[in-house]
Chain A
């Protein structure tokens, strides 16, 4: 086994610092929203804490600072939060984000494989968990201890392909695969729990497919941290993370139009004000 494993480190969880970071990420995304006609703000805000805890707490680093574990954003439309974190970490540059969705840039509204920090091209829903399953299996074959973290939308669990991956990951006993479902309860058209009652309950479905599964508050990093630390292991794990689409900006929360809309100047200023007065 690789000698560097002994030197892997995980940051300890500082909840107040995490809150400050997440406010900063949301502010940065609002800033970027003023450069482009449209972007996926609300889907990024619902998984802000999930993405933060992965990059800043759960994923282990090598001694050279690079990540040993893998982050795969299956809900590709949420990638804005990943971009701003990769920018903060120096993996992407400020000029990369300034050129977001512009012809001279390399960042689009969905992540593209081989862009620094991006583990897979996603955007079409229902692909990420299959690739993550293959990645986790490859690490098993290589006898490595690398963990594959995959963030999915709840809508992706309406894709049959996601359930093919759920079955296979459990069959292969991939205890190195940890998936986070961003359970914000909104599809593009409607509240999922209104239109698709048979979709629930979620935790028993995952458990019956052979996964370890827990439901947690997806904006509570301490709760998510505790859930992952309490992992029993021996099989893949799913955290069903209850979240609010557009979390942090009152007029965006649970309002479908913010799935893919840029705030105008007035809304932008209002949003910044709300973030500035948010409790830490």
Chain B
């Protein structure tokens, strides 16, 4: 994801001199290093100073540039939270705040580096769009949209590197603000976003093994939420499953259930989120997701599947 973002940004940056990137002491991956070499003035490193990273992007946008702020998700959103809220969102400036390692991607680094509530927190701020692609090709589409748009600030939540390409066989193109069908199915619909999407595919296989046909939908835009698209899904399927890498309060799961109430649907909804807890354990990304109760076997059991 990180590399596809860098490649896409580099390509767009060559064509649009307004695009700049402001980082806070994070090593520029892949093509961002190339961008830095070719356009040194449009690459700014503020050092370990996230408040000025966001403040500067606000000022740059006010004077006609299109800056991207870029660092680890916790430091891009939590540390300079009031700058994101006041400088970017209150003033509604077209700045993209890129959070690398959203959710619990940084699985060995402890909860200081787990942006486990990022989507919920970002979604709570007025004017802030929240986009969480599930694989490199969604990252590319989202980055292109962020660079082209003028409507306001965006939180672009990425994973790290090495994510598989999950949307190759998607039935719909990536459109900002619209849910996207990645796989067809009749009996169950699994909603997910971000790198945990791989577990949605694993669950779909378990459903298939139990004789149920499972669709998968990428809810890559968490805000504005595609309420119409989601309402259609809730009306169409007898069983909807949400799996996401976000704390429960303010999660997609919570909003899907709210929508179900608002639209009077009676389908079964199973929601699987991160725990409302700091997990004091280390290991691979998969290990931490398992520790949060999101292991595929555990979910299979909770769903009553074989």
Contact = CB atoms under 8 A, between A and B. Distances in A.
Interface in A139-154: 139-142
A140 B86 CA distance: 24
Interface string A80-123: 00000000000000000000000000000000011000011100
B291 to A, nearest CB: 34
A133 B64 contact: no
Contacts of B42: 141
Contacts of A138: 59-60, 62-65
A61 interface: no
Interface stretch (B48-56, B113-121, B133-141): B48-56
Contact of A135 (B41, B59, B90): B59
B151 interface: no
Contacts of A126: 51
Contact of A120 (B47, B82, B91): B91
A160 B51 contact: yes
A24 interface: no
Nearest to B42: A141
A136 interface: yes
B51 A131 contact: no
B20 interface: yes
B113 to A, nearest CB: 21
A127 interface: yes
A172 interface: yes
Interface footprint category on B: 20 to 34
Contacts of A187: none
Interface string B279-295: 00000000000000000
A141 B59 CA distance: 13
Contacts of B83: 127, 130, 161
Interface string B48-91: 01011011111111111101000000000000001100110011
Interface stretch (A36-44, A48-56, A163-171, A226-234): A163-171
Contact of A164 (B51, B57, B86): B51
A161 B55 contact: yes
A130 B59 contact: yes
B60 A134 contact: yes
B12 interface: no
Nearest to A167: B49
Residue with the highest number of chain B CB atoms closer than 10 Å, among A124, A129, A131? A131
Residue with the highest number of chain B CB atoms closer than 10 Å, among A130, A141, A165? A130
B56 A130 contact: yes
Contacts of B299: none
B16 to A, nearest CB: 13
B43 to A, nearest CB: 11
B49 A142 contact: no
A58 interface: no
Contacts of B230: none
B148 to A, nearest CB: 19
Nearest first, the 4 closest Cβ-Cβ pairs linking A and B are A130-B55, A134-B59, A138-B63, A134-B56
Interface of B: 20, 41-42, 44, 46-47, 49, 51-52, 54-65, 67, 82-83, 86-87, 90-91
